[in-house]
Amino acid sequence: MTVVSDASPLITLARINCFDLLPKLYGRVYISTEVYNEVVIAGAGLAGATQVAHADWIEVRPVQNTAALAIAIGKMRLGAGELSAVVLAGELKADLVLIDERKARHSARDEGLAIIGCVGILEDLYEQGDLGDLRGLIKS
């Protein structure tokens, strides 16, 4: 399964101590260079930065079609991280995109991509038996 993530699911899952459960669901997760820079470089010292930097199951891939990314950034009111995740997912023919922001989710759906956000990820982890208190995590 090819899975691409935006920054927000990585940050949120790190914040609630569920980051290390992602490979149990997806194995390898791909992120764009823009997402890496958002989480690790710009977010240094914040939730997710250290986890993403050291996760051997995350692979950073640059977006190949930088022209498409630039056009999308110019047209839409979304950040480079969200849009690069959608573009990278298209390039990799991803089976799933981990993304929370509503406009970015619509953009991914418009590209024919399957999406899931943090709540869906937590539900899947709960169904697999990897989480005990789903309600408590969602409230946090």
Q: What is the pLDDT of residues 68-85, one digit of tens each?
A: 777 777 677 778 888 899
pLDDT digits (tens, 9 = 90+) for 9-35: 999 999 999 999 999 999 999 999 999
For residue 60, being part of any structural domain is answered with: yes
Arithmetic mean of pLDDT over the chain: 91
For residue 79, being part of any structural domain is answered with: yes
Q: How many C-alpha atoms does 90 have within 13 Å on its Cβ side?
A: 17
For residue 107, being part of any structural domain is answered with: yes
Total domains present in the chain: 1
Q: 14 exposed, middle or buried (CB, 10 Å; 0-12, 13-18, 19+)?
A: buried
Here the CATH number for the domain that contains residue 19 is 3.40.50.1010
For residue 119, being part of any structural domain is answered with: yes
For residue 41, being part of any structural domain is answered with: yes
For residue 124, being part of any structural domain is answered with: yes
Closest to 10 (Cα-Cα) out of 18, 63, 104: 18
Whole-number Å distance between alpha carbons of 88 and 77:
18
Among residues of the chain, what percentage have pLDDT more than 90?
Answer: 72
pTM of the full structure: 0.91
Q: 4 exposed, middle or buried (CB, 10 Å; 0-12, 13-18, 19+)?
A: buried
Contact 65, 91 (CB under 8 A): yes
Residue 140, pLDDT > 70, answer no
Q: Which domain holds residue 106?
A: 3-135
For residue 140, being part of any structural domain is answered with: no
